[in-house]
Amino acid sequence: MKIIYDQSHKDHQPKNELDRSCWTTHPDIAERIEKLKEVLTAEFPRSFRGPQNFPEALLGLVHPQAYIDWLKKRCQEVEKGKEYFPKVFFWYDRCFDVGTPIMYNTYEIAWKAARVALTGAQMILDDEEVVYALTRPPGHHARSDMCGGYCYFNNAALAAEYLSTHADLYVAILDLDYHHGNGTQEIFYDRDDVLYISIHGDPQEAYPYTGYQDEIGAGEGRGYNMNMPLPKGSGGKDYLKALEVACDEINRYDPEVLIISMGFDTHAEDPIGGFCLKESDFFAIGRAIDHLKIPKLFVQEGGYNPDTNAAAIKSLLEGLGI
């Protein structure tokens, strides 16, 4: 297994989040990735790679130039050490929530995270069977033309589009974050060359309040978008049943590459999740994914308790048999 990591993610330091009209400490801290790195370093000390260089034009595979220019301009307007909170009313800014602050270096750091995912995709093309991309900030909430949910560029979607465009591959994305990947869904909603499956919290109460079962795709993409929401408090038994169905669907689609948007905020002790998974459940998740005999690219999404992140990834890797 190869691991893609860039230490500059530590320069992404959001301090605050506006949640239900209250200021709270932002949960996307660097330590959540550093704890994952510690575990992976102990297991695979010689497997780490830095991100490759890619032209920034590749952002246009997923994001329109108007959005890219907007984010770059907003960053240039923010003083170092300050945070700009997008104004979502009347679509003044290209953001759909008020919990995703923009800082002077947000564009730079988000682009580096995208390069981590793109490097993982290129390594899959170079015949690696399993690659883990330690991306931060996360990406699956980023729509084509809007940031949100702590996400600025959609890392998993960029990797999928890179594989589809550069190698004409059919790709499946399995989203295992507690929160529905509304951005990834939107980007591929009318496509049949990328299958999107998400297991997530009930959208009636879980951010971003999307991902109902009847959201199945549109046009050529009808039937290629599958949402499997579960009630708050769901444990391993129900989760693994849903995962079994998802894996069967992936096998039927028969993709050439599987991208896993991996979130550890499904752990029972995650501060902003709502499921009750334990370490043994992550082992079982790894076993289920291992049975899918196709190249796999893991792209890190959520997981906001650094210690449980470390325990979860260790169990996941054991399940994968790596």
**Is 194 in contact with 171 (CB distance < 8 Å)?**
yes
- What is the rounded distance in angstroms from the CA atom of residue 259 to the CA atom of residue 15? 30
- What is the rounded distance in angstroms from the CA atom of residue 251 to the CA atom of residue 237? 21
Q: Is the pLDDT of residue 233 over 90?
A: yes
DSSP secondary structure code for residue 298 in this structure: E
Span 27-52, mean pLDDT?
97
| pLDDT 10s digits, 172-225 | 999 999 999 999 999 999 999 999 999 999 999 999 999 999 999 999 999 999
**Is 9 in contact with 150 (CB distance < 8 Å)?**
no
Which is the catalytic residue, given 12, 26, 141, 267? 141
Domain that holds residue 139: 2-320
The CATH number given to whatever domain includes residue 95 is 3.40.800.20
Residue 304 confidence class, pLDDT cut points 50, 70, 90: very high
- What is the rounded distance in angstroms from the CA atom of residue 135 to the CA atom of residue 155? 8
**Is 133 in contact with 155 (CB distance < 8 Å)?**
yes
Residue 80: per-residue pLDDT: 96
Lowest mean pLDDT segment, chosen from 83-92, 148-157, 203-212: 83-92
Residue 125: per-residue pLDDT: 98
Span 55-72, mean pLDDT?
98
| pLDDT 10s digits, 94-152 | 999 989 999 999 999 999 999 999 999 999 999 999 999 999 999 999 999 999 999 99
Lookup: tokens for 136: 């931060």
Residue 16 confidence class, pLDDT cut points 50, 70, 90: confident
Span 289-298, mean pLDDT?
98
Residue 127: per-residue pLDDT: 97
Q: How many CB atoms lie within 10 A of CB 218?
A: 12
- What is the rounded distance in angstroms from the CA atom of residue 300 to the CA atom of residue 140? 9
Residue whose C-alpha is closest to residue 262's, from 280, 248, 243, 249 = 243
Q: How many domains does the chain have?
A: 1
Between 17 and 235, the higher pLDDT residue: 235
- Beta strands 16-19; 22-25: pairing state: antiparallel
Q: Is the pLDDT of residue 21 over 70?
A: no
Span 293-320, mean pLDDT?
98
CB crowding 26-51: b at 16 or more within 10 Å, else e: bbbbeebbbbbbebbeeeeeebebeb
199: left (phi over 0), alpha (psi -120 to 50) or beta: beta
Q: Is 73 exposed, middle or buried (0-12, 13-18, 19+ CB in 10 A)?
A: exposed
Residue 320 confidence class, pLDDT cut points 50, 70, 90: very high
The values of phi and psi at residue 176, to 5°, are: -110, 15
Residue 205: per-residue pLDDT: 95
Residue 287: per-residue pLDDT: 98
Lowest mean pLDDT segment, chosen from 29-33, 89-93, 238-242: 89-93
Residue 213: per-residue pLDDT: 98
**Is 63 in contact with 155 (CB distance < 8 Å)?**
no
Residue 322: per-residue pLDDT: 86
Lookup: tokens for 266: 């499904």
Q: Is 141 a catalytic residue?
A: yes
Tokens 């499956």 locate to 197
Residue 20 confidence class, pLDDT cut points 50, 70, 90: low
Residue 92: per-residue pLDDT: 87
Query: What is the average pLDDT value for the chain, to the nearest integer?
Result: 97
